[in-house]
Structure 1
Amino acid sequence: MTDRSIHIALTFDDNFWAPAYATMRSICLFSKRRSDLVFHLLHRTLTSQHKVDLEAISSEFGASLRWYDLDQSTLFKDIAARMPENKRLSNIVYARLIIDQLMDPSIARTLYLDCDMLVRDDIATLYDWDMQGAPIAAVRDSIGAWLTAGRDVASNRDIFDVAEPYFNAGLVLIDVAQWRAADIIGYMERAYAEGVMQRIYYDQDLLNLVFRGRWLQLPWRWNTIDARPVHEGLDPAILHYTGKAKPWFIITGMRRSVAFTRFYRHVMTNKIFYDFARHRRNRWWRRMLRLDRS
């Protein structure tokens, strides 16, 4: 019997449980194969209440959830402790690199998604995409040249060539066997020893180096980067809120600067939207009082 499962991987810590929920719920809402959805949740520091919130996805839509506690992963903890720290997103960004080592080895394909995304098209269309033998498929990043070349488009010329397409790693369709064969962790260790990891944009740059010239470019609508209101009329399939303004912000002016904010709020649900607002406010005060360093 053919396995019809649609395997989707997300990585997040407890401070991002609500956006993860919204991304998952948007996938389910627009899916015609909800019972085939299998969410692989690579998480850390997740509270029991927030786990209950996420489990509601299964009861509402019949999707399956598989949990991977990164705080129990020796491999992840070792990588996160030694690699350059991502101050904005935390070192949870490195979790996706070990997807192949955490998931069931029988899984042939998985779709990785960042949690600051809103899906509004059937994810099966993307999951079943003809990858034409490529190890990964992704969308070209509109600011890739700036990320790699920096000031005067002159930095890191010994590492990157801006003439080569550069993908955004917030959405990656993965051929798991080829991902495993690429030995991403081994490549990263060598890059760190040579001083390259200390100069590049964390895991996204690393993946672009590992799969240079070996990735399939997807249409832009499957990862609409820096999603703004102007994108709404272009029928994007996936909105990616990469800018500083986010659809979960309470401040009206900031919310209006990104696409589908009202719809996003109701996908997240009013309850979790306001729970998340309180969580972020409490966290801000704890950091101001130096009670919380996370």
Structure 2
Amino acid sequence: MISVAFCIDDKFAPYAAVSVISILSNTKSFVNIYFIGNLSEGVREKLLTLKNDRSAMVFVAHNLPLSTMPLSDRYVERLNKITFVRYAIAEVLTKLDKVIYLDADVLVCGDIKRLWEQPLKKSYVGAVLDHSLMSQKRHITLSLKSKSYFNAGVLLVDLKIWRDRRIFQYLSRTHNTRERWEYNDQDVLNVVLDEKVQYLGADMNVQTYSLKHINIKEPLIVHFTGQEKPWHTSSVHPYKDQYRVLLESVPFKNNKLSLYLDKEDRTILARLTAQFENGGNLIVWGAGARGRRIVKAIEQEFPAIVIKQVVDTYLIGKCFSYPIVSPENMTIEAIDAVVVATLPHKQDIRNLLRDKALTVI
């Protein structure tokens, strides 16, 4: 019998439902699904409809003393403090000795028994390297002795060891040593569990960065890391279509695609609409994640503004329906503005366009 746990609130229930459907449709063994969180009755009833004859749903409310420390600026618009509940997963699931913890933004593509049966070899947790943050030397920033940094969205947890070694207390104390951790509880988990991790294959937690940089032929779990999620209209993730089919099937009204915009996106759009409230023709410079969000926002919310070109220095191909052109092939005739959606290079682009009769936003 396999045990899987999610720490969610009502807001993330539709996405956890997709994860549950993907688990149950690919796993032959009996699975107990634990939902840790103070969920409303209506949400609990909807989640119960996902149960089949090889599963059980268990709802675990909590009254935990969660940290009063704020989330980091990087995540303040994307997460809430339910993320800190996983610190106490061993205290909440008192009758279990082992559990698979999953973030709500995962898609299970194979039998999760493969993860369940991974040997921990006396380690406190099984996890996969966070390849993106390893490339940014996060392990050096945190002075980790193991010289490794794991992603905390997919964990195989030895709950007995966590209780015996009072890991909840260590996590709570460590968390409170700083006003903010840039990667919140993931940073804290890495610090406390340093050198106590059994590292698993990348296929057990295939992060968005990993798909681009590592050859992973058969992902067991696809983890939609980063700002852009498959339920966002701007997503170009290779597994988004597979995810969206399941999202449409979950019994929640808020299972539709949405437009995600961060603070910088909203600032750019506010400047654009203030100057071109009656419409205009523009170029979007930048075909990455921010550029895609800006394009979708203009298409959905500002029909009087017409995108004539999408420009990028490095990317090729298409940005939705727009062919991506290089700066050398940019056409500025009849263009009113260039929206710069690649912030690190904004001043360089301004300098390049300063002799043009264009508004640069």
| Partner residue, 1:63 | 55
Aligned counterpart in structure 1 of residue 169 of structure 2, from 164, 186, 189: 186
Structure 1 Cα separation of the partners of residues 57 and 163 of structure 2: 23
1:209 & 1:140 partners in 2: Cα distance? 14
Partner of residue 4 from structure 2, selected from 5, 8, 23: 8
Give matches, 1:45-64, under 5 Å: 46-58=39-51, 60-64=52-56
Higher deviation after alignment, 176-185 or 220-229: 220-229
Relative distance call for 1:232 and 1:32 in structure 2 (3 A) is: farther
Letter matched to residue 83 of structure 1:
M
The structure-2 alpha-carbon separation of the partners of 1:148 and 1:40, relative to structure 1 and needing over 3 Å to count, comes to farther
Specify the alignment match of 1:19 in structure 2.
15
- Deviation digits for residues 18-65 of structure 1, max 9, x if unmatched? 1100001100010011xx100110123x3333222211121x454101
> Structure 1 regions of 5+ residues with no counterpart?
282-287, 289-294
Partner of 1:112: 101
Which structure 2 residues correspond to residues 1-294 of structure 1 after superposition, within 5 A? 5-33=1-29, 36-44=30-38, 46-58=39-51, 60-70=52-62, 73=63, 75=64, 78-80=65-67, 82-85=68-71, 87=76, 88-105=78-95, 107-145=96-134, 149=138, 156=141, 159-161=142-144, 164-192=147-175, 195-196=177-178, 198-226=180-208, 234-249=217-232, 251=233, 254-255=234-235, 257-270=236-249, 272=251, 275-277=254-256
Q: Which has the higher helix share?
A: 1
Instruction: Verify the 8 A CA contact 1:225 1:242 in the aligned structure 2.
Output: yes
CA displacement at 1:237 relative to structure 2? 1.2
CA distance in structure 1 between the partners assigned to 2:45 and 2:209 by the alignment = 29
Q: Which residue of 1 aligns with 2:315?
A: none
Of 15-24 and 95-104, deviating more is 95-104
Match of 1:284 in 2: none
Matched residue type, 1:268? L
When residues 244 and 68 of structure 1 are mapped into structure 2, their CA distance, relative to the original with a 3 A threshold, is: same
**Shift in CA distance, 229/94, structure 1 to aligned 2, threshold 3 Å:** closer
Q: Give distance in 1, aligned partners of 2:133 and 2:216.
A: 24
Aligned-residue CA RMSD (Å): 2.9
Structure 2 letter corresponding to 1:275: N
CA distance in 1, matches of 2:170, 2:182: 14
- Judged with a 3 Å threshold, the aligned counterparts in structure 2 of structure 1 residues 271 and 182 are, in CA distance, closer, same or farther, namely closer
Residue in 2 that maps onto 1:291: none
Q: Cα–Cα, structure 1 residues 147 and 100, in superposed 2: closer, same or farther, change >3 Å? A: farther
Q: What is the distance in 2 between the residues matched to 1:175 and 1:206?
A: 18
Q: Could you say what secondary structure the match of 1:234 adopts? A: coil
Structure 1 residue 165: deviation in Å?
0.8
Does structure 1 conserve the Cα–Cα contact (< 8 Å) formed by 2:247 and 2:255? no
Q: Find the residue that maps to 2:173 and give its secondary structure.
A: helix
Instruction: Count residues in correspondence.
Output: 256
* Bigger RCO (CA 8 Å, 6+ sep): 1
